[in-house]
Structure 1
Amino acid sequence: MAENNPPTLSIYLIGPSSSGKTTLCGALHHALQLQHKDVVVIQEVARTVMSTQGFTRDDVGRYEMQEAIMHAQLHAERAARSQNPNSILISDRSSIDPIVYARLFAVTSLSTCHEDADRRLNALMRHEDFLGVLPTYRSSLVILFRPVKEWVVDDGVRSMENHWPVYAEFKKVLYELGMPHREIGDEVRDLDARVTLVLKWAKIPGSSKL
């Protein structure tokens, strides 16, 4: 499905859990609302899927959960663009995230046939709806978060995976997709400094005064 009416700018915060994405998402929303009336935020898609469809963090290795999260994320993005075509979109995660988690963790829940497992693991990346959103992603500001060890907290919901292999898989998938992106990690921990840096990268008109 082709994407229509993309927002003026989209910012996607992606990467391992407990790396500061949600916190920065909220801070960016607050900062941008000071200058821009129309700011749309997408958050908690994975949590909503898990709570409404009966998944838990123990299901991170289930292809079905990652597929459900990807479709829910794409639906949220389409709804945001349809209802607010001229808004600034900030998304905590993207449909790239479930692709990474499926490729990294879901192999044990699939067929024992290696070729069939490989086909299904990459099926999300080849899905028509995902391919349709790729041009929008490539024209957006995509920020990959590197892990910050001290921020890893077990909240009973998020997967407590080894964060560095997840980050490495994100790098691999972004490379395969030819996806331009920025990175942020423990070299910038202060929240205000992170907001300033992202707004500098985004080059949103009027945001230089924030």
Structure 2
Amino acid sequence: MADAKNIYIVGAQCTGKTTLADALSKFFESPKNHYLHEGAVSKPYIIKEVARNVLREHKFTASDITSSKSRAAQLQRLILAAQYRIERETQRNGWFISDRSALDPIVYARFYVGDATANEMMNSEEWLEMREHMKQGLVFICESGVPWLFDDGTRLMPDDVSDWAKFHNLFCKMLDEAGIQYHVISKTMLALEERLAMVLNVWKEGESNETSLQMRDM
């Protein structure tokens, strides 16, 4: 049973990343999924809520990101380390779908703390290793501007729509700078079924290409 390419669902806060990761998880667990049940791929591990777990474990709040640059920097370093640990552990056992990536805390650091902290994180062993994994995986960025933005009391809320769009643009810029290819899930693509279909179509195409390459190498 083969391992597929890792899938990363990344982007600004409140753009539906975890919802999409959950939908992908249900797809691969479905008894109708012939990829899994015919042995084409192994069952993926689902990585989600890493940032929230760090917030709870280390007693941070979302407001710490905007009220204290030192606290914000400390938090993003902790999130990077946590994402690194869980990705390495999961990679040993198969492939995964994650509702964020090791780049997310670096983008947050650049946006809310400054270039110096972000550059330090980008030179870390954790990021340099995870960057190569992302290059080999499939990366989807959820565009900001979707209408379901709401405050659940835990997540960091953008100040306004313009601020939200700036964060998305910074994310795309840093993906480009890192040499990581990605697919944009448009803010106009509102139906979960449509988003799921887009990701699966890209994934299936990638798996087909990988199979073709393996056959040519035989």
TM superposition score category, shorter chain reference: 0.7 to 0.9
1:148, 1:185 within 8 Å by CA — same for their partners in 2?
no
Instruction: Please tell me the residue identity of whatever aligns with 2:4.
Output: T
For residue 111 of structure 1, what is the aligned residue in structure 2?
none
Is 1:16 matched up with 2:21?
no
For residue 157 of structure 1, what is the aligned residue in structure 2?
154
Q: Which runs of 5+ in 2 are unaligned?
A: 37-41, 67-71, 209-218
1:186 is displaced (CA, Å) by 2.3
1:95 is displaced (CA, Å) by 0.8
Structure 2 length-normalised TM: 0.81
1:194 is displaced (CA, Å) by 1.1
2:6, 2:138 within 8 Å by CA — same for their partners in 1?
yes
Distance 1:205 1:81 in 2: 18
For residue 63 of structure 2, what is the aligned residue in structure 1?
58
Q: What percent of counterpart residues are identical?
A: 33
For residue 199 of structure 2, what is the aligned residue in structure 1?
198
Distance 1:92 1:151 in 2: 17
* Aligned with residue 140 of structure 2, among 143, 146, 150: 143
**Matches for 1:1-210 after TM superposition, within 5 Å:** 7-34=3-30, 35=33, 36=36, 38-61=43-66, 62-82=72-92, 84-85=93-94, 88-107=95-114, 118-161=115-158, 162-203=163-204
1:137 is displaced (CA, Å) by 0.5
1:80 is displaced (CA, Å) by 0.7
1:104, 1:166 within 8 Å by CA — same for their partners in 2?
yes
2:4, 2:207 within 8 Å by CA — same for their partners in 1?
no
Secondary structure at the residue paired with 1:14?
strand
Distance 1:133 1:150 in 2: 32
1:12, 1:92 within 8 Å by CA — same for their partners in 2?
yes
Secondary structure at the residue paired with 2:6?
strand
1:205 is displaced (CA, Å) by 5.3
Structure 1 length-normalised TM: 0.84
1:119 is displaced (CA, Å) by 3.1
Distance 1:13 1:163 in 2: 17
1:39 is displaced (CA, Å) by 1.6
Q: Which runs of 5+ in 1 are unaligned?
A: 1-5, 108-117
1:7 is displaced (CA, Å) by 4.6
